[in-house]
Amino acid sequence: MKKVRVRYAPSPTGILHIGNARTALFNYVYAKHFGGDFIIRIEDTDTLRNIEGGEESQLHSLSWLGIKWDEGPDIGGSHGPYRQLERLDLYIHYANILLEKGFAYKEYRENTDQYAIRFKVPKNVTYTFSDIVRGELTFQSKEVEDWIIIKENGIPTYNFAVVIDDHLMNITHILRGEEHITNTPKQMMVYQAFNWKIPTFGHMTIIVNEQKKKLSKRDQNVIQFIEEYEKRGYLPEAIFNFVTLLGWSPKTNEEILSPKEIIDSFDPNRLSKSPAMFDREKLAYINSRYIKMLKVEELAELAKSYFVNANIEIESDQWLYSIVSLLQDRLTNIAEIVDLYHAFFHDDFRLTDEVIEVLREFNSLPILKIFQQHLSNNDFEAETLEQAIKQTGIDAAVKGKPLFMSIRIATTSEMHGPSLPASLALLGKERVLERITQTIQLLRGEK
């Protein structure tokens, strides 16, 4: 069996979009599952749209995702060059062969010696191929007009250059978006003209938003670019996991899968024929699961820059570990830690009518007075605070929700949250006592 070789061929016209990232990931997973090679090729012939730093940005995002390529513009390889603008002589060479064989012809601009080269579409030919995703697809040559393979400026068109490149790079399988389906017969014409073996194609379905409409770059409800996920503190393993579930499903119901598990279990027969919905809640869930799996020290290191950028002073490593440990279970991305920090340490302590009603239902006043006394006599470590809460429950003859919710509301104004002793320790003795006093006064009707 011929070694599997696949490629991802981005244009350096912008940063990596989620749809293109999916194409790259499926090609990478396909190659690695079958023990093959994954190649990066830069399609930079649209010079007017190329942007400075576009190639570097794309490669950085691919690398951040955990994709490792075997050949590419940055590392080289035996089938280079890996930028199309460095391969122009090859396209001209093969276009001239097509001219000599009568498969193409020159089309001169009127009253000049400038010309483009057009491919001569065969008449009454049927093009059929077996698509990995969609099964057998058929096109008729009469549906295609003679098409340009080399423009007047000597630059090849996409459908011509891609065939030359894929053949010379020994590409065996091509996974790409469904918008390329209609390109396939043109490419098959070139393969057949040279009597080259045609690769196996697979065309993945579109990605749709939660309203079942095709995902558009103008859709403001979905983060569109991989660079933005990195900035917001999504974990690359989580994005790898989530994106590969956009159009593919594992045999089990388990959705949290490491890159290795995805590669090992990948089955191209399970690529979906239906549009893939971008489910933001699923993404948040998957990323939160990966965040929960981090060691506190790992998460603290990742979170540090967000505190620094928000001008939040990091008192010590231990302080940072305590904050991170407290908020870890509430994060769906690491950037959220700043808002959670501010929500936690805010000085604008106000009790809503809803939580005041809860305090009255629980008869919280005596509970808070007893807890206040225990706090005055204790240091403010989480362990001693835990004991103070327990002793308050014994002294007040209460337990469960009335005990814990009374103290939580009186100190944080929230009915739910992270570990109560750890929360109190981080809030500090002065702030906690001040809030309890304020709550007691409110319950007494003093203010």
Tokens of 89: 């002589």
Contact 190, 220 (CB under 8 A): no
Closest C-alpha to 94, from 18, 173, 157, 183: 157
The Cα–Cα gap between 65 and 217 comes to 20
Residue 201, strand partner residues: 174
> Tokens 């043109």 identify what position?
186
Side-chain-side CA neighbours of residue 264 (13 Å): 5
The Cα–Cα gap between 437 and 229 comes to 43
DSSP 235: -
What SS3 state is found at 254? coil
Count other C-beta atoms under 10 Å from residue 418's C-beta. Answer: 18
Closest C-alpha to 367, from 404, 333, 337: 404
Query: Which of these is catalytic: 213, 214, 217, 295?
Result: 217
**Catalytic residue flag (residue 142):** no
The Cα–Cα gap between 132 and 396 comes to 69
Count other C-beta atoms under 10 Å from residue 308's C-beta. Answer: 11
> Tokens 């490149």 identify what position?
165
Helices and strands in the chain, H and E counts: 18, 11
Q: What is the dihedral of CA 65, 69, 73, 74, to 10 degrees?
A: 70
What SS3 state is found at 362? coil
Positions annotated as catalytic residues are: 217
